[in-house]
Structure 1
Amino acid sequence: MGEARLIILSGLGWMFDALDVLILSYLLVAAAGELALDTQRKTLIILANNLGMLIGAALFGRLADRFGRRKIFMATLLLYSLGTGAAALARSWLEFAVVRFFAGLGLGGELPVVATYVSENSPPERRGRNVVLLESFWSLGAVLAAAISLYLFTSIGWRASLVLLSLTAFYVFVIRLALPESQRWIESRGAQPPGAAAVPQVDLYRLSIVSAIWLMLAFGYYGAFLWLPTMLVKERGFTYVGTYEFMFITTLAQLPGYFSAAYLVEKLGRRPVGSLYFLLSAVSAVLFTYSGAPGELVVWALALNFFNLGVWGVIYAYTPELFPTAVRGVATGMSGSAARVGMILGPMLYPLYSSSALIIIAAVWATASALIWLLPETRGRVV
């Protein structure tokens, strides 16, 4: 299987996942009046979504080790696509929260499975680059989420937009026809029949460090980005349309952030690039907080998107390389579950601390910048 085909076809599924995750921040604004969403109810919806992602990451990572990467990739995509469409039928904030929980199961489950799949099907000298390029499709999903909010929410409404987004379910046919099962996974199963249980032997010390980094990364990302549209409206005086425009423009910085990380992880290594991008993400968050003029806000929001999404790419590339094939899916999934804990805790900051939340997030990212040096470097190694 060609590497370009591997990255593009897997990346489109990744893009749909990002779109469905990030559209939630815009839905909290667009549906606020119709579903009577105050800050507390918005927080509970985010919590339900992220709790689903936490459970999904651990559950489907384990299932991918037992039943194969491709099958679980298809199952998770189908689950969140249908969940997104079902959200269009919600008549109350509680119904919306319940549906987002089930969609979250698929959203959280897909990411570690696809990262593992691409890592296992890439040569060692380009493995890190390929997984970062896979993660770069997240930025395309982010741009699509902003564009859909700007153009579709304001024209056909959020409910009709969600119905259209549910059509991503048909992408399972592309996966089934065009992507083979991971050969590395097949070899790791040996003579065992499909579905037989593998005995996991995970390096718990390494897993704990990786999980802590994932938690810190997600804590800051979701603590900042899920509330950013609300921050702009409530604290900076932006209109709804102005907020969507701001988010659309600044999100464009994510793609070059991924590309720079994809280049540097194979030149400098996973640890130095991850550490640097964590630190610069922290600096960007602080400077955004203390910016006053709209131009300054744009500059530091661009920097925040550039460096923080770049570090996501690095960590996604790094994590599967740290564990053997037989437990790679479950270890990556457990790390992803730690990220979902961060997703739950991070969004609670803004309701409690308002604009000071970004300062706390910056401190957490600076800590992760140091913590990553406790892990071994994997650049160029056969795993």
Structure 2
Amino acid sequence: MSSKPRSLGEIIDRLGLTRTHYLALTLVVVGGLFEVFEQLILSALGPSLEKELGVDASALALLSTVSLLAIVAGGVIGGLVADIFGRRSLLAVSLGIYCLGSVLSAMAPNSVILGVTRIVTGLGVGGEIAVGLTYLSELTPTKFRGVFVSLFNTISAGIGMFLAYAYTLVVIGPFAAAINAGDNAWRWAFGLLGVPAVLIFFFRRYLPETPAHLLSRGKIQETNEALTRLATGRLRLRSGDDVHQYVDRQTAAISESAQHHESTRQTLKSVLSRPLRRRTIALGVAAFLAWGAQFSVVLLMPLILVSRGYSVQGSVTFTMLQNFGGLIGCAIASYGGFAISRRTAVSSGAVCSAISVLAFALFAAGDALILALGFVFQIFVLLVNTTIWTWAPELYPTRVRGFGTAVIVNTGFVGGALLPLISSSLLQGVGEFWVFGVVAVMYLGLALAALFVPETHRVPLEVLHGSDKRTGAEA
């Protein structure tokens, strides 16, 4: 580097993308992929659990609610701990917790114990999501930040929503037949999700901590080591390797991440105090409605199809194929992370989600229309959700980025936990049309809430949250 940049943000931007960035993205995304499996496994196994454990639509919604509330608790706690102790360690710990929960779920003798084991799983899943988003947003240059963060959801959710149902079909079908699992096929579906625990080794050994977090804790030498790993593309520094002195105390003094140290109590309060309050509330409401609407449809779709006369495997297959549309939505969001404003993507995607879910309610009769309209709906659902995931970590300064992101993401999971209870009651009480009608209203409310969130598209994090107080004011 020919001249010393003014701040840490400029250093990261000048380094560009290296092999280390791509490795970090790969490992975080693979962890997130299995996290999506954990979220959707109850929906995919819903008909099997109904048959083997007597779990009806209301009980399935309750199990989902318990899991998602645990995700909320794990995410909020994980975000707070990550702001104190680091992003990388939390990723490894969260992965271990949710893999343990999956193995315990496979051993559950009844629905009550299954609910307890899903709490364990949820605690790990919650930390994985919020911290993964924070990690990628801090590690990546501004130009590519939106793309990298959105790719987390594009691959983990877009592909994961498809693969989760494909995985379930393989385990309860050919795999179960091959090992003669019989009525225990659903247990294997849970148990095999403990395999990703092997990723913990790679998280701990090869991923660097984010320079922003290290500098926020005053660790200048460790910051320079992390930056050297990013610049050289090396996964680990060897003994005797030169560590480039990118950052010194003068550079740290003008870097946003090294400023404004707060106590834990101040951190908890700051996301709901000026100037962060309005953005937290507005995007929190949007996430609450987005996750609530998505989980209402995804959780109940297999049961709706079974009630229409489809077989258990047929209903799961149809839901799987519908969810493949989410991959397209995520891909659009990834491109949008580079080229389209956050507010435009969320608001327009939400309106299109409302229109498509009403079209499904009115016209989805027969195999072709069920597949086509469900496919289109999932495109817009994942466009909205992926952009919210990208938006959240950009709204907060380094000192509270993990916690603030966790608040947004897990407010969404509260919606995913509570709103399907209402939807399942509507399904059993007045029919599926009203379920889809309520989901459409959720999306229109989401589009309105997004209008009150500050735009962050392609603006450096240090400009958004630096010493210029004008950039921290509510927009």
Q: TM-score, normalised by structure 2?
A: 0.77
1:26 matched to 2:44: yes
Q: Distance in 2 between matches of 1:57 and 1:285?
A: 29
Paired residue secondary structure (2:143)? helix
Paired residue secondary structure (1:33)? helix
Residue 285 of structure 1 is aligned with which of 354, 357, 360?
A: 357
1:349 matched to 2:377: no
Residue 272 of structure 1 is aligned with which of 320, 338, 344?
A: 344
Residue 161 of structure 2 is aligned with which of 126, 142, 164?
A: 142
In the TM superposition, residue 28 of structure 1 has moved relative to its aligned partner by: 2.1
Q: Which residue of 1 aligns with 2:285?
A: 212
Q: Which has the higher contact order (CA 8 A, sep 6+)?
A: 1
Structure 2 spans left out of the alignment, 5+ residues: 1-17, 177-184, 223-261, 462-475
Q: Which residue of 1 aligns with 2:211?
A: 183
Residue 319 of structure 1 is aligned with which of 392, 405, 419?
A: 392
Paired residue secondary structure (1:6)? helix
Q: Which residue of 2 aligns with 1:248?
A: 320
1:237 matched to 2:315: no
Q: Which residue of 2 aligns with 1:364?
A: 442
1:166 matched to 2:199: no
Amino acid in the other structure paired with 1:215: F
1:86 matched to 2:159: no
Q: Residues 261 and 314 of structure 1 are in contact (CA less than 8 Å); yes or no, is this contact kept in structure 2?
A: yes
Structure 1 spans left out of the alignment, 5+ residues: none
Q: Distance in 1 between matches of 2:62 and 2:345?
A: 35
Paired residue secondary structure (2:451)? helix
3-12 vs 72-81, which moves further: 3-12
Q: Residues 74 and 175 of structure 1 are in contact (CA less than 8 Å); yes or no, is this contact kept in structure 2?
A: yes
Q: Residues 125 and 379 of structure 1 are in contact (CA less than 8 Å); yes or no, is this contact kept in structure 2?
A: no
Q: Residues 66 and 197 of structure 1 are in contact (CA less than 8 Å); yes or no, is this contact kept in structure 2?
A: no
Q: Residues 15 and 139 of structure 1 are in contact (CA less than 8 Å); yes or no, is this contact kept in structure 2?
A: no
1:339 matched to 2:416: no
Q: Distance in 1 between matches of 2:127 and 2:440?
A: 27
Aligned identity (percent) is 28
Q: Residues 104 and 117 of structure 2 are in contact (CA less than 8 Å); yes or no, is this contact kept in structure 1?
A: yes
Q: Which residue of 2 aligns with 1:299?
A: 372
Residue 329 of structure 1 is aligned with which of 402, 405, 419?
A: 402
Q: Deviation digits for residues 115-150 of structure 1, max 9, x if unmatched?
A: 010011111111111111111121222222111221
Residue 457 of structure 2 is aligned with which of 359, 379, 383?
A: 379
Residue 146 of structure 2 is aligned with which of 117, 120, 128?
A: 128
In the TM superposition, residue 191 of structure 1 has moved relative to its aligned partner by: 5.4
Paired residue secondary structure (1:276)? helix
Count of residue pairs brought into register by the alignment: 380
In the TM superposition, residue 74 of structure 1 has moved relative to its aligned partner by: 0.8
Q: Distance in 2 between matches of 1:5 and 1:191?
A: 24
In the TM superposition, residue 12 of structure 1 has moved relative to its aligned partner by: 0.5
Runs of 4+ in 1 over 6 A off after TM superposition: none
Q: Residues 51 and 340 of structure 1 are in contact (CA less than 8 Å); yes or no, is this contact kept in structure 2?
A: yes
Q: Distance in 2 between matches of 1:136 and 1:20?
A: 17
Q: Distance in 1 between matches of 2:134 and 2:105?
A: 29
Paired residue secondary structure (1:168)? helix
Amino acid in the other structure paired with 2:331: F
Paired residue secondary structure (2:53)? coil
